[in-house]
Amino acid sequence: MTSALDTGDPGDTGTGDTVSVPTYPFPRTSALDPSPEYDRLRARCPVAPVIAPSGDQVLLVTGYEEVRAVLSDPRFSREATLEPGAPRLAAPPQRFKSLLNLDPPEHARVRRLVSREFTPRRIALLRPRIRERAEALLDAMVANGPPTDLVRAYSLPLPLSVICELLGVPYEDWTVFTEWSSALLATTGLPPQQVLAGLAGLRGYMSGLVAAKRAAPGDDLLSALVQSRDQDDGSLDEEELVYLGISLLMAGHETTANQVSNSVFALLTRHRALAADLCDPERAPRAVDELLRLYLPGDEALLRIALEDVRLGDTVVPAGAAVLPSVAAANRDRLQFDDPAECDPDRPSNPHLAFGHGIHFCLGAGLARAEVEIALGALLRRLPDLRLAVEPESVRRTAGLLVTGVEALPIAW
C-alpha cells in the first residue's frame, strides 16, 4: 500500500519508471466518448495525480469501487473545499452555502426541505405534464420543418420549462440565467472574472425572485421555501435559501438537457436498434439507464477534500488532499461492467453512478429519468425517420464545463 503523494515524484508508477503528471481535463477523441486517458490511468493506478485547471494537484479517481467510496465516505468532504487555501478544480473560488457544498448534518437539514418535491409519487404526477410539454415542442418543430437544432428546439426547453414551473421561475428569463449558469459551470475557457460575474448574476436574480415570492407567494417550490425560511424555525438562513434556489434551477435543466442531446446523438450514430426499446414503456427505463451509463453529461463528480488519511484500494489518500471522482471512468470499469463500452439494455445489473452515490445522490434523479425517458420516447415515436442533418464528425461537444453535451445537434426527418 502506498501514499498517493509520498513517492517523491508524483508520476512514479511503482515500477521504477516515472511519468509526467497529466493535465486535466483530457481532450476527447469524439463528442460522445470520454478520453482514453481514463482507461490508461485506471489500468495503471485508479487513484492518480493530475494538474487541475486551477494549477493545483488533485487525485483523479477512475476505478468504480474507489469512485463509489469517495462519493459515500464522509471523510471526503465537500464543505472543506470552501476553506481558504483549499485545492480547487477551477481558478475562481466558489465559497457559498449551496446544498452541494454542505456536509452532514447541515446537508440533511437543507435537503429534507425539498426532498418531498422529488418523491416517486410526485414525479408520477408530473409525468403527464412533461409529456404535454414534449408534444407541444414537437408540434412546433414539425410546423417549422427541418432542419432544426434539437438542443434549442427540444432538449433544452423541455427540462427548462419543467423546472421553471416547479420552482416558480419566469420561463421567459431563460436566456439570461442560462448564460450565467454556463459561466458558473466553467472549469476552463473563461476568465475568473466572467465566472464570478455569472455567480453574481445568478445570486442577484434569485435574490430578486425570493423578494418577489415573499411579497406575493405563489403555488410553487420557491414560495414554499421562502415561507419556511420566514417561519424562523432555523430551517434555512437567507444565503442558504438563495443558493438552494440557484442549485435547483441549474441542476434542474443543465444535466437533463445535455443527457437528451447526448442520447439522441448516440442513437442516430451508433444505437438505432435501441429506438424500439425507448418506445416500449416496459423496456424504456433500462435503455435510458444504459444511455446514462455511457453518455452522461459530464465526466466528473464534484471535488472533495480528505479530512484524514483514507485508504482507497491500494492507495492512501493523505489528509488535506483533493480527490476528483470520475463517474465517466467508473461507469466504464470492466471490473464492474462486462463489455463496458457496449450499449446493452439487457444487462442483469447496471449500478451506474451517473446520478452519484451517497448523501449527494442527485435529488432530482427521478425527475431527470422521467424527462429523458419521455423526451426520447416522444421524439422517436413522432419522428421515426429522424436523422442527422450534418456529418457526425462535425458535431462538437462543449468544452471546459462541469456539465457537457453536444453544442448543437442539427436534425432532419
Could you read off the pLDDT tens digit of each residue along the chain, which spans 413 residues? Answer: 555 654 334 344 333 445 689 999 999 989 999 999 999 999 999 999 999 999 999 999 999 999 999 999 999 999 999 999 999 998 776 677 789 999 999 999 999 989 988 999 999 999 999 999 999 999 999 999 999 999 999 999 999 999 999 999 999 999 999 999 988 888 887 888 898 899 999 999 999 999 999 999 999 999 999 988 887 666 788 999 999 999 999 999 999 999 999 999 999 999 999 999 999 999 999 999 999 999 999 999 999 999 999 999 999 999 999 999 999 999 999 999 999 999 999 999 999 999 999 999 999 999 999 999 999 999 999 999 999 999 999 999 998 889 999 999 999 99
- State how far the Cα of 371 lies from the Cα of 291, in Å rounded to an integer: 14
Q: What kind and span of H or E run contains 45?
A: none
Pairing of β 57-61 and β 322-325: parallel
- State how far the Cα of 42 lies from the Cα of 177, in Å rounded to an integer: 37
Share of the chain above pLDDT 90, in %: 83
* Residues 265/272, Cβ–Cβ less than 8 Å: no
* Structural domains of the chain sorted by starting position, each given as residue range(s) with its CATH number in brackets: 2-412 (1.10.630.10)
- State how far the Cα of 186 lies from the Cα of 222, in Å rounded to an integer: 26
Q: Please list, in sequence order, all residues whose beta carbon lies within 8 angstroms of the beta carbon of residue 32, skipping any fewer than 6 positions away.
A: 262, 265, 266, 269, 270, 295, 397
> What number of other Cβ atoms are within 10 A of residue 116's Cβ?
11
* Residues 406/150, Cβ–Cβ less than 8 Å: no
Rounded (5°) CA angle 142-376-400: 100
E-strand spans in 17-124? 47-51, 57-61, 76-77
The DSSP result for 14-59, as a single string, is: SSS-B-PPPBSSPPPSSSSSPPTHHHHHHHH-SEEEEE-TTS-EEE
Rg of the chain taking only CA atoms, in angstroms:
21
Dig out the grid coordinates for 160 from the structure: 427548462
User: What residues pair up with 410 in beta bridges, in sequence order?
Assistant: 149
